[in-house]
Chain A
Amino acid sequence: ALVLVFSPLPRLRGLLQRCWGRLERGLLPGFSGGQSPPWGPALAVQAPAFLPEPVRDTTESKEVPSLLDSILWMAAPKKRRTIEVNRCRRRNPNKLIKVKRNIDVCPECGNLKQKHVLCGYCYAKVKAETRLIRMEMHKKEGGPFNAPTVETVVLYDGEKPTEKDEGKRIIERARKRPSWFVQN
């Protein structure tokens, strides 16, 4: 806390006494005479900044309410929502998660699948194998924009290209043919 030492200088004391007198009478110390202070109402009120005029021209149309007016009348909650009301809303049956009735068993792998969606496990299996085939293709091509204009045939261990695969590009994969990849 600051400690003020009052220095008993006569001029300073006189000035301070005059200032205090002015403040008590409700005037600024800087004012020279009995003039009304320039400031407006000291209290911030929920009302338009200007006072509405009681007498208006009937011919004058109603003014569009300014932005300042519309801000002050916004929607706000009147009362706190009790936990009972909150629970009724949160636990309403339309908000609860519905039980899914479209889950089946995949006939291939035995995992669960949705009826209108591919089995996730089988799809992941095929995706992994496709990724390896594409890696082989990249190695054969050697760079971007080298895709050949002919078809591609994937051959696994112990398979020979038939006379149907005459002009096609052959990709070798060093493993047994998977059961789901049917050869033409």
Chain B
Amino acid sequence: TCCFLAGGAWACRLLGWARPERWLASGSVFPLSCIHTSTSLQKSGKWEKKNWVVYPPQLPGEPRRPAEIYHCRREIKYSKDKMWYLAKLIKGMSIDQALAQLEFSDKKGAKVIKEVLLEAQEMAVRNHNVEFKSNLHIAESLTGRGRYVKRIRYHGKGMFGIMKIVRCHYFVKLVEGPPPPPEPPTTGFDQAKEYVQQLRSRTLVNTL
């Protein structure tokens, strides 16, 4: 008896060029379709596609939906863990404050993120019908892992180590409007109240 890997992965590995999921019509369901298939160098990410979402026109009574701008930069030569600290710094700030903090930060990623924010601000004003470029705040800022490459690092005495050339992606979502007020940190009393509430809301399962 020969052991089979998951059907799709097996196909991917042996016949890299043949993609059985492409042969089926778009309506039919492929049993193991939850696999990464695109190995091309320029795969269009999902974050860029979020800008193409079109909402139906709003009814006259509804409150105005704030504009959302998604922007990202791929394959930045920096570590995702180090970039995360900068992303955490500017989460929830207004765009002016974020640019000020990044300008005087000593990190390498600060320059990159500043460029990304300026680009996103420009895009917002030009394409996304944002009236005031300062009226934006950062709703989400994330980092992701880029493609890693392994290289040899030469040590003394003929020893070597394998090092990883590390790259990251940076994603940012700007939303029109002033930044939301920071929520106050939960005190011990609030936590105790929540715990008591949890205990009180327990019921007996599978009974009348």
Contacts and interface: CB of A to CB of B under 8 A. Distances in A.
A90 to B, nearest CB: 7
**Which of A90, A95, A100, A114 gathers most chain B CB within 10 Å?**
A100
Interface in B109-155: none
B194 interface: no
A150 B194 CA distance: 80
B104 A103 contact: yes
Interface residues of B, number: 11
Interface in A83-108: 90-91, 95-97, 99-100, 103
A99 B104 contact: no
A99 B103 contact: no
A23 interface: no
B137 to A, nearest CB: 15
Contacts of A96: 85, 88-89
A99 B81 contact: no
Interface residues on A, range: 10 to 19
A97 B103 contact: no
Given A90-B81, A97-B105, A103 B100 contact: yes
Contact of B86 (A90, A91, A97): A97
Interface centre among A91, A95, A112, A114 (most CB of B within 10 A): A112
Nearest to A91: B88
A96 B105 CA distance: 13
A100 B107 CA distance: 14
B79 interface: no
Contact of B100 (A90, A91, A112): A112
A91 B105 CA distance: 18
A60 B89 CA distance: 64
A118 B140 CA distance: 33
A16 B88 CA distance: 75
* Most A C-beta atoms less than 10 A away, residue of B86, B89, B104: B104
B100 to A, nearest CB: 5
Contacts of B86: 97
Contacts of A95: 85
Interface in A106-125: 112, 114
B104 A114 contact: yes
B27 to A, nearest CB: 41
B74 to A, nearest CB: 23
The 6 closest A-B CB pairs, nearest first, are: A97-B89, A103-B100, A97-B85, A112-B100, A100-B104, A114-B104
